[in-house]
Amino acid sequence: MFTVYPYAELGHANHGWLDARHHFSFSGYYNPARRQFGQLRVINDDTIAAGSGFDTHPHDNMEIITYVRQGAITHKDTMGNEGRTGAGDVQVMSAGSGVAHAEYNLEDEDTRLYQIWIEPNARDVAPRWDARAFPKLPVEDALPVLVSGRDEHADQQPLFIHQDAAIFGGTLKAGTVIEQPIKHQAYVLASRGRFHVNGVHLTQGDGAEVVGDRVLRIEALDEAEILIIDVPVH
């Protein structure tokens, strides 16, 4: 089963400094039919104005992944971690037993990012934060794994999360065709460009749930940036 959620139909909140699109119910946006997808709880497509950001606030028992699409985000938390994550790179925070953090756009341009929350498979773990830069060359075969809690991905050195889930991502040149294996079920994000997934058209900003397919055939119509979140059922 393949269900597309067009960008224009996502939940929307514009706070001036933050323009957010919500793929699932979040904060002031509530849709009883869009509460989560398996263990995937939140996807926010955020645009953060230059010189602004999220003041210090707490989290617990959630795997929080940030994929930066434009600009950069600067992180600071109560564990003493500080770091800047730029476009195409990823940071992960396992909130575990509890942590507070702040996220600011200290750049002179808007920052665009996906904020992704995945429910963990273990509660009250020691909180942690990590970030990594990934290669930016276009992909010619399967998308590389960026984030994973699976043993089979350990040799590829993705950012670790406490869940049997994985996030794959990268860019494809126009005309490139790849096949992406799926273990559980997938949420596909069209970060940039246009492409087909198993014959279904997606364009920038769209999301799609894919249930029952074990391989995704992706054909890039333009230069495209794609994320695939493979998560267990709830």
Q: Which domains does the chain have, with CATH numbers?
A: 9-120 (2.60.120.10), 145-231 (2.60.120.10)
What pLDDT is stored for residue 181 in this prediction?
A: 97
Identify the burial level of 82 via C-beta atoms within 10 angstroms of its C-beta, where 0-12 means exposed, 13-18 middle and 19 or more buried: exposed
pLDDT band at 97 (very low <50, low <70, confident <90, very high): very high
What pLDDT is stored for residue 135 in this prediction?
A: 87
pLDDT over 90 (residue 157):
yes
Nearest to 172 by CA among 208, 135, 226, 216: 226
**Average pLDDT, stretch 194-202?**
98
pTM: 0.97
d(CA 65, CA 130) in angstroms, rounded, equals: 10
pLDDT over 90 (residue 220):
yes
d(CA 87, CA 65) in angstroms, rounded, equals: 14
Q: Going along 166-223, which residue ranges are E strands?
A: 166-172, 177-181, 185-192, 194-197, 200-203, 207-210, 215-220
**Average pLDDT, stretch 154-162?**
96
Nearest to 6 by CA among 23, 28, 30: 23
What pLDDT is stored for residue 26 in this prediction?
A: 96
Alpha carbon distances (Å) from 161 to 49, 115, 227, 233: 29, 14, 16, 16
Q: Which residues pair with 222 in a beta bridge?
A: none
What pLDDT is stored for residue 130 in this prediction?
A: 98
**Average pLDDT, stretch 85-105?**
98
**Average pLDDT, stretch 14-31?**
96
Determine the 3-state secondary structure of 83 from DSSP: strand
What pLDDT is stored for residue 178 in this prediction?
A: 98
- Percent of the chain at pLDDT > 70 equals 100
pLDDT over 90 (residue 139):
yes
**Average pLDDT, stretch 209-225?**
97
d(CA 188, CA 165) in angstroms, rounded, equals: 14
d(CA 208, CA 197) in angstroms, rounded, equals: 9
pLDDT over 90 (residue 197):
yes
d(CA 87, CA 68) in angstroms, rounded, equals: 5
What pLDDT is stored for residue 234 in this prediction?
A: 87
What pLDDT is stored for residue 190 in this prediction?
A: 98
Determine the 3-state secondary structure of 122 from DSSP: coil
Q: Which residues pair with 197 in a beta bridge?
A: 200, 218
